[in-house]
Amino acid sequence: MRCPSRRSAVLGMVLLCGSSIAVANYQDPAAAGAQGGGTGGQVIPVDKLHDRLFVLRGGGGNTAVFLGADGVTVVDTKIPGWGQPLIAKIKELTDKPIVRIINSHTHYDHVGGNVDFPPTIDVVAHANTQVNMKRGVPPKGAESRVPPDVFKANGGKNIAKRTFKDTMTIGQGADRIDLYYFGRGHTDGDAWTVFPALRVMHAGDIFSGKLVPLLDTSNGGSGVEIADTLAKAATVANVDRIITGHSSVMTPADLREYADFNRDFLAYVRAAKKAGRSVDEATSGYTFPEKYKGYRAPREDSIRNSVEAIYGELR
Ligand SMILES: [Zn+2]
């Protein structure tokens, strides 16, 4: 019986990452009348950024689909159970073969569909993300609400096969893809994927939206370092648009602002700790600074989790 686990996986993703888009698009497969491996209710809306680049929403993190001369590159594969509908949607967009997955980080709502792709596919990620995929430790603070590890359940199928440390370039000219690692943040393996010919970057969850950051310290995340990491990413040349992990497409100015937001958040938490306040006191005392418009906490416990993570690092 797949529906309950699929449903709990989606709820877990919503709780973890707070994507209102995913909530709006999700229908329980049972309620939608799907049977067995059917894809009823698994709605994947498509945003076309360019003739060769699409954002596929729903079912977890935002997926980028890039059409190159040698085939299709897919950045992130959504929650477990959404690989097949993702592949079906890509086939509606192009006849080209899918040749490559890039995973922005280890979380189940970005890698869950990997196992539905053929075992011959190229899978690229940061070296630390490959380690995290093999370890299969759930995100800090979300342990009770995430699905079972999809790689363990599938004998390690389509864990990252090719890794990089600082940068990696795939292809050339109009097909070129640049991967960057700028340091710890959401995890210790957050990859930034840039399509320079199209001036677009895919950020993953280190920039999931205008949200209090989710700092997954179980997978190397850092609230002390995230602002510096974001600021470095904002200096990448030839980028006009940024595909966020779970929100709308944003700009380098938004990314710079998000780096500032995180720096100010860290300063607040640092000061609270220095003043001897407890995690609860620091949490209840936090208010979003006036200058950051549209920022929010995706969950009730988001601020507390982030405060706690930073207190742990400052110890
Ligand atoms: Zn994540």
Query: What is the Å distance from ligand 1's center to 226 Cα?
Result: 14
Residues in Cβ contact with 19 at an 8 Å cutoff, skipping those fewer than 6 apart: 13, 208, 209, 246, 247, 298
Instruction: Looking at the chain, list the stretches that DSSP marks H as alpha helix, in order from N- to C-terminal side.
Output: 3-17, 20-25, 83-93, 108-111, 127-135, 150-153, 226-233, 252-274, 279-284, 302-314
Query: How far is Cα 25 from Cα 12, in angstroms, rounded to an integer?
Result: 15
Query: What is the Å distance from ligand 1's center to 46 Cα?
Result: 21
Query: What is the Å distance from ligand 1's center to 275 Cα?
Result: 31
Q: Tell whether the model's pLDDT for residue 198 goes beyond 50.
A: yes
Query: What is the Å distance from ligand 1's center to 239 Cα?
Result: 22
Q: Tell whether the model's pLDDT for residue 16 goes beyond 60.
A: no
Query: How far is Cα 61 from Cα 64, in angstroms, rounded to an integer?
Result: 10
Query: How far is Cα 87 from Cα 118, in angstroms, rounded to an integer?
Result: 11
Query: What is the Å distance from ligand 1's center to 192 Cα?
Result: 13
Dihedral of alpha carbons 14, 15, 16, 20, sign: positive
At residue 41, the pLDDT reads 85
pLDDT in tens, 278-313: 999 999 999 999 999 999 999 999 999 999 999 999
Q: Tell whether the model's pLDDT for residue 7 goes beyond 90.
A: no
The pTM for the full model equals 0.89
Q: Tell whether the model's pLDDT for residue 229 goes beyond 90.
A: yes
Average pLDDT over residues 188-201: 98
DSSP state letter for 296:
B
Query: What is the Å distance from ligand 1's center to 33 Cα?
Result: 30
Query: How far is Cα 23 from Cα 191, in angstroms, rounded to an integer?
Result: 25
Q: Tell whether the model's pLDDT for residue 2 goes beyond 50.
A: no
Average pLDDT over residues 223-230: 98
Q: Tell whether the model's pLDDT for residue 20 goes beyond 60.
A: no
Q: Provide the β-strand partners of residue 201.
A: 194, 242
Q: Tell whether the model's pLDDT for residue 39 goes beyond 50.
A: no
Query: What is the Å distance from ligand 1's center to 173 Cα?
Result: 31
At residue 315, the pLDDT reads 86
Query: What is the Å distance from ligand 1's center to 103 Cα?
Result: 11
Query: What is the Å distance from ligand 1's center to 212 Cα?
Result: 13
Q: Tell whether the model's pLDDT for residue 33 goes beyond 50.
A: no
pLDDT in tens, 103-146: 999 999 999 999 999 999 999 999 999 999 999 999 999 999 99
Query: What is the Å distance from ligand 1's center to 106 Cα?
Result: 7
At residue 6, the pLDDT reads 40
Query: What is the Å distance from ligand 1's center to 110 Cα?
Result: 7
Q: Is pLDDT larger for residue 10 or for residue 204?
A: 204
pLDDT in tens, 56-84: 999 999 999 999 999 999 999 999 999 99
Neighbours of 136 (CB within 10 A): 17
Query: What is the Å distance from ligand 1's center to 234 Cα?
Result: 19
Residue 176's Cβ-count burial label (10 Å; 0-12, 13-18, 19+) is: middle
Q: Tell whether the model's pLDDT for residue 32 goes beyond 70.
A: no
High-pLDDT (> 70) share of the chain, %: 87
At residue 40, the pLDDT reads 58
Region of poorest pLDDT, from 9-13, 25-29, 85-89, 193-197: 25-29
Query: What is the Å distance from ligand 1's center to 281 Cα?
Result: 27
Distances (CA, A) of 27 to 39, 55, 88, 144, 179: 11, 20, 18, 22, 34
Residue 271's Cβ-count burial label (10 Å; 0-12, 13-18, 19+) is: exposed
What are the respective helix, strand and coil percentages of the chain, to the nearest 5? 35, 20, 45
Q: Which amino acid is at 174?
A: A
The tokens for 238 are: 């030839």
At residue 12, the pLDDT reads 41
At residue 302, the pLDDT reads 96
Query: How far is Cα 152 from Cα 156, in angstroms, rounded to an integer?
Result: 6
Query: What is the Å distance from ligand 1's center to 104 Cα?
Result: 9
Query: What is the Å distance from ligand 1's center to 22 Cα?
Result: 14
Residue 230 φ then ψ, to 5°: -65, -40
pLDDT in tens, 159-183: 999 999 999 999 999 999 999 999 9
pLDDT in tens, 249-265: 999 999 999 999 999 99
